Structure 1
Amino acid sequence: MAALFIWLCTPGLAQTVAEAEAALVNGAPVEALDILDRLEVDPADDPLQILFIEGLAAMDAGQFQRAIRALEAMVTAAPDLTRPRLELARAYFLAGDDGNAMRQFELVTGGITDLAVLDTIEQFLAEIEARRTLWYSFSIGLAPDTNINAATDAATVDLAFIGLPFDVPADARAQSGTGLETSLGLDWRGRPDEVGGRWTAGATLFAREYSDDRFDDRLIDVTLGRQVRLSDWTLTFGPKALIRQSGGAVSERGYGLRLQGTHTPRATRQLSFSLGKDWDHNLLTDRRMARASASAGIVEALSGRTRAGVTLSLDRYHGEATTEARGVVGLTGLFYTEFADGLTVALRPRVSLAVYDQAVNGISGNRRRDITYGLPVEVSHRRLRIAGFQPYGQITWEQRDSVNPFFEYDRQRVFAGVSRRF
């Protein structure tokens, strides 16, 4: 008993947070962690300070997973503090988790005005870009859809230009179903060469399959590009190609050229643009269509956890099917926010106006005009993981109004599944 009493009273056993901090400052992170492990709880101690010291000490000691756990706990408890989130990003970086490191750096830049800190973040991001050449992502989930074929649900529509009602065949009306949706994305970026440029390539494999295989949809999309820096812009130019299979048969082949650019005039703002030309061949109708497109957008960081933006797009379709020739103008918004517990929500409202060159039936004086509205809402949680995958959900409301009621429809789509970026 006396020996036990002597051991309990040994000087240095009941050490303090201040001693752990001093050990860290003096370059002894392992000693600091040892002190924290044997720390007696004191109501006067700040639990956030303890987590912060533990995170920094664990990083310096090379115990990156422990550092991540401590700093994640601190960021969850105090999401508006900038320094802990920066250190969490650094811990992810040192652990080789570049995806989460980039995400944390991007979330925090909106609340930083210190140019030296911003320069340091840019150096981290540049090193991540330089050391990674291949990124890939995967998602899988169920996708209920109230209107798979984007068709009217009316049995009869009144066509004013012929003055008679039109009976819509049952198989031409809206069809609903639940599909299994899978997506695999690959993104390769070569290392910069002597002149600062590099080659890029990407591929997307997408499939949505239903019990009624008439509505199965599969797509392979590949891109190749040359990326260069021009003044303050990052420009990527190159070809793309796609092949689509619908209902078990190849339905579309296409190819095109794309020029894209991004510019970050300041840490909280990014500008972007895209110019493209595409040629598509619809094998089901044996018709060819060309499309010229242009878009410009801006994204602004409103805070460390909230971003908003808008994109304006213009498209011109023309080709063999003169009834499909049209111009389209679209507007897409973005509002993204992350809550304190790690829940993220993104809203992407959109509206587009399509004006066709020809009248509805070729003889009527009223040209076809469609207005399509959409509101996708995406929800995820960065702290939840299932075997390394993140739960992800999306619900989309969509509606089209047209001068020809045959082309009007309402649609609700849902995706509920998991995703992961590697």
Structure 2
Amino acid sequence: MRARPGRRPATWWRCGPRILCRVAGLCACLAVAAPVAAQPALPGAARSTLPVDGAAIEARFLRGLALLNGGQAAAAIPLFLDILAGDPTLVRVRLELARAYFAAEQWSRAREEFFAVLSTDLPEPARLRVLGFIRAIDARRGFDWDLSIGLVTLGERRRYDSDTVDLEIAGTVLPFTLERDTDTEPGLRVTGAARWRQGLTRVGATELVGFAGVDLDALEGPGARYDDITIGARTGVRFLGARSSVVAAAFGRSRHVAGDGFEDRFGLDLSFERRSAGGVSVFGAASWAVLDSAISDDRDGHAVAAQLGLRRSVGGRATLGAALRVEENRVAFDLEDYRDTELRVFGSYDAVRGITLRPELSLRYRDFRDPSPLFTASPNERAVQVALTVQKSDLFLGDGFSPFARVSHTRSRSDIDAYSYTESEVQIGLERRF
């Protein structure tokens, strides 16, 4: 069962609709950045490799290249994306798109595109330059921000196999009926982040960069009944090598449900990435956090997590990856004292007509460490989730936002029917591209 909010007052703020306006305004302010000088073109083919029947495409490509080299990266990005919508295999266009994202300080987008082309047949000078761009992205300075807004259904989306649970009391098995909230209502999901980075020092080929940032994940409806808002802060240092990076950071996170404090987390994390010249990346992370519950003292404790994964680019237009994650919650409350083991397979594929597909498959096993002796069967959960995000990458609304839709379906099974459920979710919204 999901925990309900308690009576302890919120520790950071009283959540409400105004918080979304504040954060959106903060992200908008941080979006104002000084123009970035255009980066030199990548070495390799001096002539574009556009289709023979694409005179108009050639003209758009040259126009985009002129805008990019003239310091107008934001104006060049839609032109390159429009060309790739017709033929996602054009490596030269994708390289210039990555360079435009880089100049526009859209670091995550630039990194994705540079990483994708590593699996193509690039000349060695171009490959080395691409690796140099990826390293420069990791060593970036200044501010950047991301924002996503979508329509969702709030409330209890889970449909349980049963509302009756059998408990053994004094040698007698008695059925108990669980009273669950089954109402739903439309709402908004807002996710965003704002980050600042500053170079600190360099020792030989290793560079040290400091960073700090805040992030938001909020569900908010017409009232506060189903509000679920998490805000976090993180600061640390990044060690950069030629093809690797290591990050050490401290973080804090506060979650509020229905306007009341729910849980605070404070901890440390360590992560790394090692990439090859052929488009293969190995990554991992470990974290430790103290849990401070606003519900009850028996939910206080700590959490430990570790992750190891691999991803690679495929054909210059797709990525494929897998990650194994283990997380332990250690608290006194038996339904929150568990170990999660999750295998996630994910990918991204640029199809035609500007459609980007991001499928995901997740297998999770939840092992409750010390379940209540009243249960007549094991409450352990075995869950399978499939999800697909579809984005129209060449369509822009407002100031660089693209529409997307995400659907997911989860089936979780337990030996106790009252804890077996099916959950489906649909989200339609806008995501900032540049």
TM-score normalised over the length of structure 2: 0.77
1:222 positional shift: 1.1
2:367 aligned to 355, 364, 368, which one? 355
Aligned to 2:322: 310
User: Is the radius of gyration larger for structure 1 or structure 2?
Assistant: 1
1:86 aligned to 88, 95, 102, which one? 95
Alignment of 1:2-401 (within 5 A): 46-52=55-61, 55-56=64-65, 71-91=80-100, 93=102, 101-145=110-154, 147-148=156-157, 150=158, 152=160, 154-157=162-165, 163-169=173-179, 172-195=180-203, 196-211=207-222, 213-229=224-240, 232-287=243-298, 288-322=300-334, 324-359=336-371, 361-362=372-373, 366-388=377-399, 389-401=401-413
Tell me, yes or no, if the aligned pair for 2:287 and 2:306 is still in contact at 8 Å. yes
One-letter identity of the residue aligned with 1:163: V
Greater share of helix residues, 1 or 2?
1
For 1:69 and 1:358, the matched residues in 2 are separated by 55
Tell me, yes or no, if the aligned pair for 2:165 and 2:177 is still in contact at 8 Å. yes
For 1:341 and 1:372, the matched residues in 2 are separated by 34
Aligned to 2:34: none
Relative to structure 1, is the Cα distance of residues 93 and 408 closer, same or farther in structure 2, using a 3 angstrom cutoff?
Answer: closer
Larger deviation, residues 262-271 vs 57-66 = 57-66
1:93 positional shift: 4.6
Relative to structure 1, is the Cα distance of residues 239 and 68 closer, same or farther in structure 2, using a 3 angstrom cutoff?
Answer: closer
1:358 positional shift: 2.4
1:119 positional shift: 0.9
Tell me, yes or no, if the aligned pair for 2:161 and 2:417 is still in contact at 8 Å. no
Gaps of 5+ in 1: 1-42
One-letter identity of the residue aligned with 1:317: N
Tell me, yes or no, if the aligned pair for 1:152 and 1:174 is still in contact at 8 Å. no
Identity of aligned residues (%): 22
Relative to structure 1, is the Cα distance of residues 92 and 370 closer, same or farther in structure 2, using a 3 angstrom cutoff?
Answer: closer
Tell me, yes or no, if the aligned pair for 1:376 and 1:396 is still in contact at 8 Å. yes
For 2:86 and 2:361, the matched residues in 1 are separated by 31
RMSD: 3.0
For 2:54 and 2:384, the matched residues in 1 are separated by 54
For 2:427 and 2:141, the matched residues in 1 are separated by 30
Tell me, yes or no, if the aligned pair for 1:147 and 1:410 is still in contact at 8 Å. no
For 1:110 and 1:392, the matched residues in 2 are separated by 26
Relative to structure 1, is the Cα distance of residues 258 and 192 closer, same or farther in structure 2, using a 3 angstrom cutoff?
Answer: same
Relative to structure 1, is the Cα distance of residues 407 and 267 closer, same or farther in structure 2, using a 3 angstrom cutoff?
Answer: same
Q: SS at the partner of 2:396? A: coil
For 1:235 and 1:338, the matched residues in 2 are separated by 29
1:173 positional shift: 4.4
Aligned to 1:4: none
For 1:345 and 1:355, the matched residues in 2 are separated by 33
What does the per-residue CA deviation read over 1:115-174, in whole Å, with 9 as the maximum and x for residues that have no partner? 2111112233444555542211112221115735x57374434568963432222xx244
1:76 positional shift: 3.5
Q: SS at the partner of 2:225? A: helix
One-letter identity of the residue aligned with 1:81: L
1:326 positional shift: 2.2
Relative to structure 1, is the Cα distance of residues 58 and 209 closer, same or farther in structure 2, using a 3 angstrom cutoff?
Answer: closer
Gaps of 5+ in 2: 1-51
TM-score normalised over the length of structure 1: 0.79
Tell me, yes or no, if the aligned pair for 2:81 and 2:393 is still in contact at 8 Å. no
For 1:252 and 1:44, the matched residues in 2 are separated by 60
Tell me, yes or no, if the aligned pair for 1:152 and 1:173 is still in contact at 8 Å. no
For 1:247 and 1:44, the matched residues in 2 are separated by 58
How many equivalent pairs are there?
376
Tell me, yes or no, if the aligned pair for 2:98 and 2:111 is still in contact at 8 Å. yes
For 2:419 and 2:382, the matched residues in 1 are separated by 10
Q: SS at the partner of 2:418? A: helix
